[in-house]
C-alpha cells in the first residue's frame, strides 16, 4: 500500500510540474528558457530508487505528463520511458549525488526529450524543413534544466511521497 501511495504522489508531482512548466512558458513568458520540470523530477526520483522500480516509475511519469500536455501521448510516453532508462543506466555507473553528473544528465535528457518531441511532431504534421531551427531552440531549455538540477536537487528529493520510494535494503 505504501508503494501505491508513493506512485500516486509521484504522478501528482509530475502532473503538477507539467502544468507549472506550461504556465511558465505562456504565463510568465519564459519561453525557451523554461526548464523541463517533469524530467527533472523523474531523474530526481530515479536517483533514489531500487533498480527494479525504474521502468514502473518512468511509465507512471510518462502517463502523468501525457495527461497534462498537448503533445502526442505515445510520443510523450516513449520519450519519458527512454529518459527513465537512460537515467537508470547512468545511475548504475555514476553517482547522481555529484552536481555535474546530475546537471549533465538532466540537461541532456531535456534536450533529447525535446528533440524527440520535435521529431514526433515533424512526422505527425509532415513538416521536416524547420527541424534544425527547432532543435537549436532546445538548447536554452537544456541549459535551464541543468541549472535547475544544480540548484533545486535537494528540494526535489524532499518532496512528499518520493522519500518512501527510496532504495530498499537487503
**Helices 37-46 & 99-125, crossing angle to 10 degrees?**
130
Average pLDDT, the chain: 85
| pLDDT at residue 38 is higher than 60 | yes
Tell me the whole-structure pTM to 2 decimals. Answer: 0.86
Position 169 scores a pLDDT of: 43
The pLDDT, as a whole number, for residue 30 is: 76
pLDDT reported for residue 116: 92
Concatenated DSSP letters of 125-157: HT--TTHHHHHHTTHHHHHHHHHHHHHHHHHHH
> What gap in Å lies between CA 103 and CA 129, rounded to an integer?
31
Q: Is 159 exposed, middle or buried (0-12, 13-18, 19+ CB in 10 A)?
A: middle
At 40-87, the pLDDT tens digits run: 999 888 887 777 788 889 999 999 999 988 888 999 999 999 999 998
Q: φ, ψ for residue 30 (rounded to 5)?
A: -80, -25
Q: What does the angle CA 23 – CA 140 – CA 95 come to, to the nearest 5 degrees?
A: 100
- Please report which confidence band the pLDDT of residue 168 belongs to, taking 50, 70 and 90 as the band edges: low
Per-residue model confidence (pLDDT) at position 53 = 82
Confidence at residue 63, expressed as pLDDT on a 0 to 100 scale: 93
pLDDT at position 66, please?
A: 92
> What is the structure's pLDDT at 167?
56
> Are the C-beta atoms of residues 38 and 18 closer than 8 Å to each other?
yes
Residue 32: which region, alpha, beta or left (left: phi > 0; alpha: psi -120 to 50)? alpha
- Quote the pLDDT of residue 170: 37
Per residue in 122-165, pLDDT (tens digit) is: 888 777 667 777 778 889 999 999 999 999 888 887 888 776 66
Amino acid at each position: 500500500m505504501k508503494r501505491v501511495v508513493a506512485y500516486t504522489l509521484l504522478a501528482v508531482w509530475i502532473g503538477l510540474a507539467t502544468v507549472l512548466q506550461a504556465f511558465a512558458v505562456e504565463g510568465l513568458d519564459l519561453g525557451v528558457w523554461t526548464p523541463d520540470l517533469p524530467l527533472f523530477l523523474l531523474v530526481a526520483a530515479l536517483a533514489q530508487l531500487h533498480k527494479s522500480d525504474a521502468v514502473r516509475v518512468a511509465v507512471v511519469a510518462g502517463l502523468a505528463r501525457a495527461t497534462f500536455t498537448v503533445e502526442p501521448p505515445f510520443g510523450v510516453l516513449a520519450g519519458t520511458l527512454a529518459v527513465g532508462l537512460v537515467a537508470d543506466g547512468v545511475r548504475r555507473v555514476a553517482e547522481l549525488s555529484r552536481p555535474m553528473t546530475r546537471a549533465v544528465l538532466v540537461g541532456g535528457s531535456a534536450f533529447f526529450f525535446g528533440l524527440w518531441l520535435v521529431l514526433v511532431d515533424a512526422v505527425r504534421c509532415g513538416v521536416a524543413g524547420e527541424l534544425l531551427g527547432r532543435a537549436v531552440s532546445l538548447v536554452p531549455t537544456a541549459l535551464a534544466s541543468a541549472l535547475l538540477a544544480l540548484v533545486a536537487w535537494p528540494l526535489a528529493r524532499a518532496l512528499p511521497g518520493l522519500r518512501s520510494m527510496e532504495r530498499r535494503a537487503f
